[in-house]
Homo-oligomer: A and B are copies of this chain.
């Protein structure tokens, strides 16, 4: 099955205000904030370091904190009743783990580190109080949420209508646009992100290799997209024209 979920091993670390500030400023939700407003957030944020494979929070847990990724990658996923895991998003630098779930009092998906990760976290109540004091922040938040939802709906449609190759291409497209052409992902992780199995992923991937879209020259746990243009060309639907 999926990677084992270790206990949440937290480790508070002291990051300089500068580092924290930079990460928060580059979080899309806070793009519209003035410097002094972000500063106010920084004072409430605590930095935490987590080992690879740690469960940051689980589906259904009470949502106590608001999280922003400061370093590393975090998988946001849900477990299907069949036991399968479906990864919805990979969050990286500046991404929020649960901006969407702020208003609800429970997380509706789980978050697990894929690498060593630094996160900044702010107690939910403090964060909500801050948001209420900044109405325009709320509007921005709504916008970002709407965008995200539109994206996810498009993804769901793709899942239902398209075959595995298209789903994989779309996953690679999404990940590469965000993190570059060298992806630190195992085949299993990519499979979970595309709603298929490891074996099928490997077979399709080896086809794509023959076509020159990707190259497996990299180490294991790595997928290298050698021809992004060719990848896009193969994609039957262009995401983002929602």
Interface residues of A (CB under 8 A from B): 59-60, 78-84, 86, 88, 100-104, 106, 108-109, 132, 135, 138-139, 141-143, 145-147, 149-150, 152-162, 195, 236-237, 241-242
14 more A-B residue pairs beyond the given contacts A104-B143, A160-B195, with a C-beta to C-beta distance below 8 A: A78-B154, A80-B157, A83-B161, A84-B160, A86-B157, A86-B160, A100-B146, A104-B146, A108-B146, A138-B139, A149-B149, A156-B156, A156-B159, A159-B159
Q: Is the CB–CB distance between A149 and B108 below 8 Å?
A: yes
Please give me the residue from chain B that is nearest to A160 by CB atom: B195
CB distance from A154 to the nearest CB of B (A): 7
CB distance from A157 to the nearest CB of B (A): 5
- Residues of B contacting A147 in the complex (Cβ-Cβ under 8 angstroms): 104
CB distance from A84 to the nearest CB of B (A): 4
A183–B73 alpha-carbon span in the complex (Å): 45
CB distance from A94 to the nearest CB of B (A): 21
Q: Is the CB–CB distance between B236 and A81 below 8 Å?
A: yes
Q: List 14 A-B contacts (CB under 8 A).
A: A59-B242, A80-B158, A80-B237, A81-B237, A86-B157, A86-B160, A103-B139, A103-B142, A103-B145, A108-B153, A138-B142, A142-B145, A152-B153, A155-B156
A156–B88 alpha-carbon span in the complex (Å): 10
Q: Is the CB–CB distance between A88 and B153 below 8 Å?
A: yes
Q: Is the CB–CB distance between B108 and A156 below 8 Å?
A: no
Question: A108: which of B60, B80, B150 is its contact (CB, 8 Å)?
Answer: B150
Question: A146: which of B80, B81, B101, B161 is its contact (CB, 8 Å)?
Answer: B101
